């Protein structure tokens, strides 16, 4: 009868006596490819996937941009309010794109892509209890909020507005802002031209 596991059933094979179980543990179960080849890691797949998604988004954006071209505005339409003591300043006496309705508030008269620009200067000497908050709103809905009361901040961006939209800049408390260094402006960039 065989005395060890290596020569249990094969007493005539002496090389089995030299092989230990540790060699068996290190043997691969299957070959995944040519020797030395590595499978891509999850980081490489993530990089490749992200690159493909970005290329698809860029292609889709280019397609949309070419199918829905924007026509630049025919006449300049610019309005600016502030800094105080000045009031609304218009590029032409009767602009075709906006109508001033009150201080810090105007009504959009023409569909288009608009650039809103402005500056808000907080009053650092304000000692009231109301928290500092300045809101840029469209039809009562906030499109930008400023809450930093320690530094002058820019407000605005490019927005698509429709005829009838009301745009305003409101302050949580009138004395929180230095109105002699705060202003709001709007500029019509382009009118959308849809292909029929």
Residue boundaries of the structural domains of the chain? 78-190
Evaluate the CA torsion angle 49, 50, 55, 59 in order and state its sign. Answer: positive
| Distance, CA of 136 to CA of 104 (rounded, Å) | 10
Q: Which band of pLDDT confidence, cut at 50, 70 and 90, is reported for residue 6?
A: very low
| Distance, CA of 134 to CA of 149 (rounded, Å) | 10
The predicted-structure confidence for 103-162, as pLDDT tens digits, reads as follows 888 899 989 899 999 999 999 888 888 899 999 999 999 999 999 888 999 999 999 999
Question: Whole-angstrom distance between the N-terminal and C-terminal Cα of the chain?
Answer: 94
Bridge-based pairing of strands 98-102 and 183-192 is unpaired
- State the pLDDT at residue 72: 53
Q: Tell me what the mean pLDDT of segment 32-42 comes to.
A: 62
pLDDT over 70 percentage in the chain: 63
Q: What are phi and psi of 189, to 5 degrees?
A: -85, -50
Secondary structure class of 132 (helix, strand, coil): coil
Number of C-beta neighbours around residue 100 at 10 A: 16
Number of C-beta neighbours around residue 151 at 10 A: 9
Q: Using a cut of 0.75, tell me whether the model's pTM lies above it.
A: no
Residue pair 156/146 in contact (Cβ under 8 Å)? The answer is no
| CATH code of the domain occupying 78-190 | 2.60.120.40
Mean residue pLDDT of the chain comes to 76
Higher-confidence residue: 113 or 2?
A: 113
Q: Tell me what the mean pLDDT of segment 67-74 comes to.
A: 53
Q: Which band of pLDDT confidence, cut at 50, 70 and 90, is reported for residue 64?
A: low
Q: Which band of pLDDT confidence, cut at 50, 70 and 90, is reported for residue 75?
A: low
- State the pLDDT at residue 195: 42
| Distance, CA of 85 to CA of 162 (rounded, Å) | 30
Q: Which band of pLDDT confidence, cut at 50, 70 and 90, is reported for residue 164?
A: very high
Residue pair 186/115 in contact (Cβ under 8 Å)? The answer is yes
């Amino acid at each position: 009868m065989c005395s060890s596991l290596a020569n249990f059933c094969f007493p005539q094979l002496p090389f089995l006596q030299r092989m230990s179980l540790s060699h068996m543990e290190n043997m691969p179960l299957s070959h995944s490819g040519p020797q030395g080849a590595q499978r891509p890691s999850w980081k490489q797949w993530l990089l490749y996937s992200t690159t493909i998604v970005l290329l698809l988004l860029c292609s889709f954006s280019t397609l949309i941009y070419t199918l829905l071209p924007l026509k630049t505005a025919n006449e300049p339409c610019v309005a600016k309010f502030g800094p105080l003591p000045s009031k609304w300043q218009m590029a032409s006496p009767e602009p075709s794109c906006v109508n001033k309705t009150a201080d810090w508030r105007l009504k959009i008269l023409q569909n288009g892509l608009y650039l809103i620009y402005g500056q808000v200067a907080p009053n650092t000497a304000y000692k009231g209890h109301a928290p500092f908050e300045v809101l840029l709103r469209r039809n009562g809905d906030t499109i930008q909020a400023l809450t930093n009361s320690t530094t002058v901040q820019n407000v605005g961006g490019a927005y698509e507005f429709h005829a009838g939209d009301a745009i305003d800049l409101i302050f949580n408390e009138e004395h929180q802002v230095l109105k002699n260094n705060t202003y709001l402006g709007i500029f019509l960039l382009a009118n959308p031209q849809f292909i029929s």
